[in-house]
Structure 1
Amino acid sequence: MNDLEAVFEENSFAEGRFRRAYLGTWTNPIVKRGQRCVVKELKEEYTWEASDWKTAELVQQEAQTLADGFNAYSGCKYPIKFARVDVMRVVTKKNQNTTPALGEYVVAEDYIEGTFKKWCNNYGYISDEAQDFAMSLPAFMHWSWYHTDGQMMAADLQGVKKPDGYWLTDPVILSDVDGEYGCTDMGVEGMAMFFMKHKCNQFCKLLPSPTFDDFAGVILPQTLQKCKLAIPSMMGCTAFRSELKFTKPIKNVVLRTFRNIATRI
């Protein structure tokens, strides 16, 4: 934590499956005073320790590091930038019956002005706009997978497109280690679902990429069908690890397949 301070509204203005968001205003430091911010709390449980947000901070940092690498690689005129998250504690409030609770830890970030969109999620959803116009975003996911030798993928890309780039929030990191990046880390299953939908474009066409044929005989037909049917139901939503469908043997085979493909060049 640092010396940031903010006040926020009593009622949330947006929420996802994982978090609830409140519109706020920075009061400290002076350079931020009066600027709008967003305060977010976990929906399922109170967070009484600042360390409860450690994964969220780590995910943002990893996603930004990957974005910096992709921006340099692609030369895209709309660079990708993730909003920084800061952990804060609720120290005063008027209505004691509302959440976040007094003493609860939340995260705050600068408010992103503009039309908010979800271009990709963490389980195979890629919007039509991302396929046809915002092509650098799914290409970034593909590149992050290749850049880390198939061990990680930046996902759940959502935010606002501005004249100076894409300003994104609440990313997800998919990893080849079970749940390393929290309950939204769908691991190699999430990566596989992405590649089943992804169509390479000008930003990633030179990178190795799994194809549907690479999964034939690797994933049981009935499992594959369940996964493919789940993708439309996840439109606009973030998937949770409780919804994973791969058995451990399938996951291990897919992981080996990914490693072989990611290091092909």
Structure 2
Amino acid sequence: MLKLGKTIQDTKTVVEIMFFDIDGLTWCAPHKVEFVIEKSMFASGGFRKAYKAKSEHTDVKNKIWVVKKYLQNSLDIINATEQSTEQHTRKIVQTHMLVRNMAAKLDQEIQEKSIQEYGETFHYKQIYLGHIKSTNEMITVEEYISGQFKKYVNNDGQCLNFNDDMPICQKAESFMHHSYERSNCELLVVDIQGCEYCLCDPEIASKSLDYDNEYLFTTGNLFTTGNLSSTAIENFRESHECNKYCRGVHNDFVWGGV
């Protein structure tokens, strides 16, 4: 854009980003990245609003990114729980990375067992914890996914089977089954949503909480859990009936409601 003979440059925002290493369960050292964040949000949910962004930084160039910021009422809710916004945002990133790892493990198991009839599997893209120092905002920076957004499983564990015969709906249940069985019936992936097989914004229901209801594991300091954890697991256990995708992977752990 030209104005008075001068080129107007896109406004750049400096974001300090951090990556969570799920294998080592550690946060990598933060580094500063300049992003051009669109002024108008392109989507908004019940908790956060999303803006497209781009960067010329070596680590993140040539991709469209999504910067997710909290709505004001969400900040009020977080403050009421006596959690800091940073703590909450870290747990969003950690949860995403854990579920991303679960999805990758499921795909690996399918490949190792040569279950060709399973077909395409779910996956999650990259995510970073971000801090905009100029406005003191905690954000997430995630790879943009294109397509028609759909939710397959609610955060209460209820499947939204708009068509029970659709493979993608059956695979969503299979993914839940896999997360539950491979975690020794301690964890359940819920809020399965995204564009076809590329998913985002997952949550995890946990069988048990520690003394302060803050963490999923009594032995660690990682993943958060919502108030619907017990309900989600109960709903899954009562309603789940293994489909062909479950049986293909878990022929030693099959049930039709327990």
TM-score tier after normalising by the smaller chain length: 0.5 to 0.7
Rounded to whole Å, the distance in 1 between the matches of 2:230 and 2:189 is: 12
- 58-67 or 27-36: which moved more? 27-36
Aligned AA for 1:7?
Answer: V
Q: 2:75 is matched with which residue: 45, 49, 59?
A: 45
Aligned AA for 2:139?
Answer: V
Across the aligned residues of Structure 1 and Structure 2, the Cα RMSD in angstroms comes to 2.5
Does the residue aligned with 1:119 lie in a helix, a strand or coil?
strand
Seen in structure 2, the aligned counterparts of structure 1 residues 184 and 4 have a Cα distance that, compared at 3 Å, is farther
TM-score by length of 1: 0.66
Match of 2:242 in 1: 200
**Is the CA contact 1:141–1:153 (under 8 Å) kept in the aligned structure 2?**
yes
Aligned residues: 198
Rounded to whole Å, the distance in 2 between the matches of 1:89 and 1:130 is: 41
**Is the CA contact 1:66–1:154 (under 8 Å) kept in the aligned structure 2?**
no
Aligned AA for 2:55?
Answer: T
The structure with the largest strand share of the pair is 2
Question: Does 2:202 match 1:171?
Answer: yes
Match of 1:115 in 2: 148
Structure 1 segment 60-209 matched on structure 2, within 5 A? 60-74=96-110, 75=115, 76-91=118-133, 102-129=135-162, 131-133=164-166, 134=168, 135-161=170-196, 166-178=197-209, 179=213, 180=215, 181-182=223-224, 184=226, 186-205=228-247, 206=251, 207-209=253-255
Aligned AA for 2:182?
Answer: H
Q: Deviation at 1:129?
A: 4.5
Q: What 5-or-longer segments of structure 1 have no aligned partner?
A: 93-101, 215-265
Deviations 1:62-111 (A, max 9, x none): 1122112211233432122112221122255xxxxxxxxx1211111011
Q: Deviation at 1:210?
A: 6.3
Seen in structure 2, the aligned counterparts of structure 1 residues 71 and 185 have a Cα distance that, compared at 3 Å, is farther
Does the residue aligned with 2:244 lie in a helix, a strand or coil?
coil
TM-score by length of 2: 0.67
**Is the CA contact 2:241–2:256 (under 8 Å) kept in the aligned structure 1?**
no
Aligned AA for 2:140?
Answer: V
**Is the CA contact 1:175–1:185 (under 8 Å) kept in the aligned structure 2?**
no
**Is the CA contact 1:113–1:160 (under 8 Å) kept in the aligned structure 2?**
yes
Seen in structure 2, the aligned counterparts of structure 1 residues 113 and 86 have a Cα distance that, compared at 3 Å, is same
Structure 1 segment 49-60 matched on structure 2, within 5 A? 50-60=86-96
Q: Deviation at 1:183?
A: 5.0
Q: Deviation at 1:52?
A: 3.7
Overall identity of the aligned pairs, in %? 23
Rounded to whole Å, the distance in 1 between the matches of 2:32 and 2:165 is: 43
Does the residue aligned with 1:128 lie in a helix, a strand or coil?
coil
The structure with the largest helix share of the pair is 1
Q: What 5-or-longer segments of structure 2 have no aligned partner?
A: 1-17, 19-30, 79-83, 216-222
